[in-house]
Structure 1
Amino acid sequence: MNFNLMEYKKILEEDIYLLGYQELRYAIFEGEKNNRQEYQVRIEKNEDKFEVYMTADRASVMGKHEFNNVFDAMDKFLNIMQSRILSNRRRVKDGNPPEYFCPLWEK
């Protein structure tokens, strides 16, 4: 991982902590094949593009977005995190099972 990616990762991790999202499943510049989990939000650098996507069951890729600008990718990453919280809170409220256990669904 080059120096700039480490800086961007640090910024994202600080944002995640400030938002209280650290209990979510996520991966930041881990490499597309590394540390994959089901229902995980991921951001990766692939050649000259930044990719943001969710994994689904069996860690398959769902809804990949590509960006030229890292800050646009970071915004999308955080937006997807927020949407997962809202979606799973709604599921729990309606009596349906969430994607996975996370204390954020109960707040």
Structure 2
Amino acid sequence: MNTISENKLELEHIIDELGYSSLRVSIFNRPTENRDEWQTRIEYDSETNEYKVYSLADRASLMGKVKSYSDYEDAVDDFLKKLKLTVEYNKLRVRQNKNPEYQSPLWDE
């Protein structure tokens, strides 16, 4: 079983391979650390032994629900799905001549 720091490195590598490095993400930081608008987050709660996946909206407010997972792979799948949806949603906004949530070269592809 990997440690949280090993999982973080692995997930950062996957994000780079997918070309998502310009997306706003937070990987295994504390819930109050490094919060940013339109950010997708994955955290580990050592008290409950659960992974938490959620997104932030403008002013770093919670968007939707916080999903909890006991299985690391399930949490990663949801996290990566949220990143893919972020790209698709912002590409659609750009095609519709609307402002994206934030600037990223991924919206222009």
TM-score (norm 1): 0.94
Residue type at the aligned position of 1:82: K
RMSD over equivalenced CA pairs, Å: 1.0
* Aligned counterpart, 1:39: 38
Offset of residue 9 of structure 1: 0.5
TM-score (norm 2): 0.93
Distance 1:72 1:4 in 2: 16
Q: Which runs of 5+ in 1 are unaligned?
A: none
Q: Which runs of 5+ in 2 are unaligned?
A: none
Moved over 3 A (4+): none
* Aligned counterpart, 1:86: 88
Moved more, 29-38 or 57-66: 57-66
Counting matched residue pairs gives: 105
1:1-107 alignment to 2 at 5 Å? 4-46=3-45, 47=47, 48-63=49-64, 64-107=66-109
Residue type at the aligned position of 1:79: K
Residue type at the aligned position of 2:33: N
Distance 2:63 2:71 in 1: 21
Residue type at the aligned position of 2:69: F
